[in-house]
Amino acid sequence: MPRKINGVGIQVEDTQVCVVMVGLPARGKSYIAQRAQRYLRWLDIPAETFNVGNYRRNSAPQPTADFFDTNNPEGERKRRAAAEAAVADMLKWFANGGIVGILDATNSTKERRKWVMDEVAKAGVDVIFVESKCDNEELILANIRDVKTTSPDYKGKDPEAAALDFRNRIRNYEKAYKSINEDGDEDDLTYLKIMDVGKQVIINRIQDYLQSRIVYYLMNLRIRPRTVWLSRHGESMLNLEGRIGGDAVLSHRGEEYARKLPELVRASVGDDRPLTVWTSTLKRTISTARFLPKHYNQLQWKALDELDAGVCDGLTYQEIKDRFPEDFAARDADKYNYRYRGGESYRDVVIRLEPIIMELERSEDILIISHQAVIRCIYAYFMQKNQEDSPWLPVPLHTLIKLTTRAYGTDQEKTAANIKAVSTWRGKGSTARHEDPVPEGGI
Amino acid sequence: MPRKINGVGIQVEDTQVCVVMVGLPARGKSYIAQRAQRYLRWLDIPAETFNVGNYRRNSAPQPTADFFDTNNPEGERKRRAAAEAAVADMLKWFANGGIVGILDATNSTKERRKWVMDEVAKAGVDVIFVESKCDNEELILANIRDVKTTSPDYKGKDPEAAALDFRNRIRNYEKAYKSINEDGDEDDLTYLKIMDVGKQVIINRIQDYLQSRIVYYLMNLRIRPRTVWLSRHGESMLNLEGRIGGDAVLSHRGEEYARKLPELVRASVGDDRPLTVWTSTLKRTISTARFLPKHYNQLQWKALDELDAGVCDGLTYQEIKDRFPEDFAARDADKYNYRYRGGESYRDVVIRLEPIIMELERSEDILIISHQAVIRCIYAYFMQKNQEDSPWLPVPLHTLIKLTTRAYGTDQEKTAANIKAVSTWRGKGSTARHEDPVPEGGI
């Protein structure tokens, strides 16, 4: 039964969408599938990937290339059975309220696509095909390198033999491969075709809201590694007092951090690399950015302002508990969804950060100087933190965080400025002005 | 010299973009050009359209179809001169800080596109070609009808003769027409090709932020007429007191409006037509929507909340003037850009409404129940109001506004519920609780 997701500014209505990946092996399909899943889940849209290879490994754990030859009936039968099992599980998942199911497989023939389309349509679920078509040798080689070292299909095998076998597997797929609508008879399908990693994109018959969100996200994806730096503003005068929100100036130590930041950034970014700096519109982030090299572009985004605490803006946690005891308890019970009176919830912040995430996906080398809650939400996107945990993440002041996106995950590096600052982390139930020690497992 | 637009959450950096329209006559090129211009200007990005036809009319006011025959040297010469004059003016405009120039012409041959590309590139301006390719007879006929009645080329002519001549003109263009990259040798161009009004879209080599904004907007454009209904919430308790912001419940009369709204909506929308209702997250809009038919989808958007008045939230204008006299004056001096301390400016509201506008372009039949400032911004988008005027627009309470987008503009219809309400309009400098009379020229 479709779930209605209302009240969050993401309109899903009654639609369920099955994203069916299409493409030869080593074209980045799984990468695209995983990124789509991460993005949708971050927006609180239930999304799940069904990888046909995982199902096939139940009956054929480490097949050689000839298993994928279309003239191998045993291979054909097992591959077909794996696809059927994956689709069956996916349809069960849709029946339980899933919104976006992603079928991660080659689906490289018209017949296979027609079969998937029919099965999924019977369940009342819309289908959008997403093909990654790529003739860029460099990218294919990089993917082959990746597969031979990480795929369970080749675990324990000689890497060179694995690479050779995998190339032969690709060749077997190529024999039967048809790009979507290559013959002009799949014109009625809804599809997105991404050529050579976004160099060209074809979008066919996309109508629905949710589909167009997915398409817009995927067409902005860059596959090569990118780096994003995050920092909170320097310690502010209100931080010292344990007050939340406001628009205070930096403390003496916060100033010190602002002066040291250029050095930290240069060491991490490199001297000559151009960088764009995004701050919020609040004094404490703009001040923190003000000693950075003049040749960096700087942009202020209202969307990077701290979570709006509404009537609680400028209060200490003790004052909030005294004046709004029910709100204090409600927030601790569900910090992600609790919306301050006249203010925002973490969920609201995620929604307003969505364009920022889209820009980050498209841009390269951005330094974001923002606030505790905002950095938690951005960090949660990159590091796939769930919504129960992310509002509680410790984010230290006076620390530069470097996130580098890789094919399957994000690397993290932290540089402390070694300038003392208060702790603004708060544990559940606590009204401490500055809570120490801060638990492990933070950013 | 490129202008930097910072601090508004729209990243333009140093880029200037020339949007070069491509396509046969009657393919909706001017419609697309005008919509792009409207959208960009709403986002405060300087945009201007240069229509080659207007330049050509200086030397050939009402040419017949044979003027457009490629074998007519006189016609060729004059058309070439018109294109040169338009491009020259456009480059002058770029030199004075223009950001997005739109060249509205057929540009239907490879040679012409190469020439435009070279001229514009010399000035350091990026080029994106936007082709509307359409074989849909119905749409072409509608455009021909439009042209024969509205184009200055056929003013005073017999409509049937005009239609015939225009068809011959199209035929002359067809002789030389090449769709972009039809021969595969324009692969290096950055282009967007819109086929059959968005049924299929091809996006080639789009990289830059501003280009991808334009592309995303254009791929969401629907050409057929659509309707959007707007209403403010019913009169609230704070409206009665002349206080701004807050999260008050409806007054007695506001309740009356909520109860009458279903009748107004039914009369305007029709009984059976499905409708989606968007409200803000504030009580007064949700209450106003609560008697609408149950089969309407309802969605709450934080992005539709009223302009955040920050420290002035809940105050009367007299109190604001007393407590923050400098802010009061600064706001009146530049209401669009003035940002309340800890709150928002109209500019901020436009930025956060941008995804709403994008959704509106894609959706059909939406009723928005929101707030004075928000409705001003949405209205300004559809009716092309400029930023100096839009923050001062009178928007009456207890009134349903129907906006229907047409090819060249938006029709407006207003239905008053005939339920009294206070006036919340305020003239420059005034601190009146309820100012009457309200000037003419409002929504």
Written as tens digits, the pLDDT of chain A (443 aa) is 233 343 344 545 568 999 999 999 999 899 899 999 999 999 989 999 999 999 999 999 999 999 999 899 999 999 999 999 999 999 999 999 999 999 999 999 999 999 999 999 999 999 999 999 998 888 888 888 877 778 899 999 998 999 999 999 999 999 999 999 999 999 999 999 999 888 899 999 987 778 888 998 998 887 667 899 999 999 999 999 999 999 999 999 999 999 999 999 999 998 778 899 999 999 999 999 999 999 898 989 999 999 999 999 999 999 999 999 999 999 999 999 999 988 999 999 998 999 899 888 888 789 999 999 999 999 999 999 998 899 999 999 999 999 998 767 889 999 999 999 999 999 999 999 999 889 888 88
- Across the interface, of A200, A205, A212, the residue whose CB is closest to B362 is A212
Q: Is the pLDDT of residue B9 over 70?
A: no
Question: Would you place residue B243 in the very low, low, confident or very high pLDDT band (cuts 50, 70, 90)?
Answer: very high
Catalytic residue among B119, B186, B256, B306: B306
Query: In the prediction, which pLDDT does A223 show?
Result: 67
Kindly determine whether residue B299 and residue A199, on different chains, have CB atoms separated by under 8 Å: no
For residue range B169-185, what is the model confidence (pLDDT) as tens digits?
Answer: 999 999 999 999 999 99
Q: Does residue B435 sit in helix, strand or coil?
A: coil
Nearest residue to B273 via CA among B226, B334, B307, B319: B226
Nearest residue to A381 via CA among A353, A345, A408: A353
Neighbours of A201 (CB within 10 A): 23
Kindly determine whether residue A9 and residue B302, on different chains, have CB atoms separated by under 8 Å: yes
Catalytic residue among A119, A131, A186, A233: A233
A398 labeled part of a ligand binding site = no
Kindly determine whether residue B300 and residue A7, on different chains, have CB atoms separated by under 8 Å: yes
Query: In the prediction, which pLDDT does B89 show?
Result: 98
A137 is an active site residue: no
B27 labeled part of a ligand binding site = no
Q: Is B9 on the interface with A (CB under 8 A)?
A: yes
Query: In the prediction, which pLDDT does B7 show?
Result: 37
B 114-133 → A contacts, CB under 8 A:
none
Between β-strands A366-370 and A276-279, what pairing exists: parallel, antiparallel or unpaired? parallel
Kindly determine whether residue A342 and residue B281, on different chains, have CB atoms separated by under 8 Å: no
Kindly determine whether residue B203 and residue A199, on different chains, have CB atoms separated by under 8 Å: no
Instruction: Copy the structure tokens of residue A404.
Output: 């580098």
A9 labeled part of a ligand binding site = no
Q: What angle do CA A310, A395, A247 make, to 5 degrees?
A: 35
**pTM, to two decimals:** 0.89
**Cα distance between residue B346 and residue B337, in whole Å:** 6
Residue of chain A whose alpha carbon sits nearest to that of B206 = A199
3-state secondary structure chain A: CCCCCCCCCCCCCCCCEEEEEECCCCCCHHHHHHHHHHHHHHCCCCEEEEEHHHHHHHHCCCCCHHHHCCCCHHHHHHHHHHHHHHHHHHHHHHHCCCCEEEEECCCCCHHHHHHHHHHHHHCCCEEEEEEEECCCHHHHHHHHHHHHHHCHHHCCCCHHHHHHHHHHHHHHHHHHCCCCCCCCCCCCCCEEEEECCCCEEEEECCCCHHHHHHHHHHHHCCCCCEEEEEEECCCEHHHHHCECCCCCCECHHHHHHHHHHHHHHHHHHCCCCCCEEEECCCHHHHHHCCCCCCCCEEEECHHHCCCCCHHHCCCEHHHHHHHCHHHHHHHHHCCCCCCCCCCCCHHHHHHHHHHHHHHHHHCCCEEEEECHHHHHHHHHHHHCCCCCCHHHCCCCCCEEEEEEEECCEEEEEEEECCCCCCCCCCCCCCCCCCCCCCCCCCC
Name the DSSP class of B123.
T
A198 labeled part of a ligand binding site = no
Kindly determine whether residue B355 and residue A359, on different chains, have CB atoms separated by under 8 Å: no
Kindly determine whether residue A247 and residue B341, on different chains, have CB atoms separated by under 8 Å: yes
DSSP, residue by residue, B370-412: E-HHHHHHHHHHHHT--TTTGGG----SSEEEEEEEETTEEEE
Question: Would you place residue B5 in the very low, low, confident or very high pLDDT band (cuts 50, 70, 90)?
Answer: very low
Residue of chain B whose alpha carbon sits nearest to that of A200 = B204
B235 labeled part of a ligand binding site = yes
Residue of chain B whose alpha carbon sits nearest to that of A196 = B205
For residue range B13-68, what is the model confidence (pLDDT) as tens digits?
Answer: 568 999 999 999 999 899 899 999 999 999 989 999 999 999 999 999 999 999 99
Query: In the prediction, which pLDDT does B255 show?
Result: 98
Q: Is A338 on the interface with B (CB under 8 A)?
A: no
Nearest residue to B18 via CA among B109, B111, B122, B110: B122
Query: In the prediction, which pLDDT does A440 show?
Result: 84
B 350-379 → A contacts, CB under 8 A:
351-352, 354-355, 359, 362-363
- Across the interface, of A205, A209, A344, the residue whose CB is closest to B199 is A205
Give B133's contacts (C-beta < 8 A, 6+ positions apart).
B23, B27, B179, B193, B194, B195, B196
**Cα distance between residue A31 and residue A145, in whole Å:** 14
Question: Which chain A residues are Cβ-neighbours of B7 within 8 angstroms?
Answer: 281, 299-300
Query: In the prediction, which pLDDT does A408 show?
Result: 72
Question: Would you place residue B223 in the very low, low, confident or very high pLDDT band (cuts 50, 70, 90)?
Answer: low
Q: Is the pLDDT of residue B303 over 70?
A: yes
Question: Would you place residue B107 in the very low, low, confident or very high pLDDT band (cuts 50, 70, 90)?
Answer: very high
A255 is an active site residue: no
**Cα distance between residue A25 and residue B160, in whole Å:** 58
For residue range B355-403, what is the model confidence (pLDDT) as tens digits?
Answer: 899 888 888 789 999 999 999 999 999 999 998 899 999 999 999 999 9
Name the DSSP class of B8.
S
